[in-house]
Amino acid sequence: MRVTVRVVGHAVEYFPGRKDVYELEVEGPVRISELLAMLGVGRALVMAAIVDGRRREFDFVPPEGAEVILMTPPAGG
């Protein structure tokens, strides 16, 4: 099944290929934490995950075709 991952914030530069959208094909349901592992991105770099407009924990399993938005940290004042 397909899951789309969008990365928000300047820390996109630490993601593979520095892209801000990734189309991932996965075998069956996976947790958001596993999607991060697939992208080779440290959990520490993602501040929040949003699916369908709602913040979700990293053990949440997005449904097929979902768009997962990964918020990377903004800067402080």
Q: Which of 17, 28, 65, 76 is in the footprint of other proteins by CB under 8 A? A: 76
Question: Do 61 and 30 form a contact (C-beta atoms < 8 A)?
Answer: yes
Half-sphere exposure for 7 (CA within 13 Å, toward CB)? 23
CB of 72 to other proteins, least distance (A): 7
H-state helical runs in 1-77: 32-39
- Binding of residue 44 to other proteins (CB under 8 A): yes
Q: Which of 17, 28, 65, 77 is in the footprint of other proteins by CB under 8 A? A: 77
Q: How far, in Å, CA of 63 to CA of 77, rounded?
A: 36
| Residues lying near other proteins in the complex (CB under 8 A) | 6-12, 14, 20, 41-42, 44-45, 47-48, 50, 69, 71-77
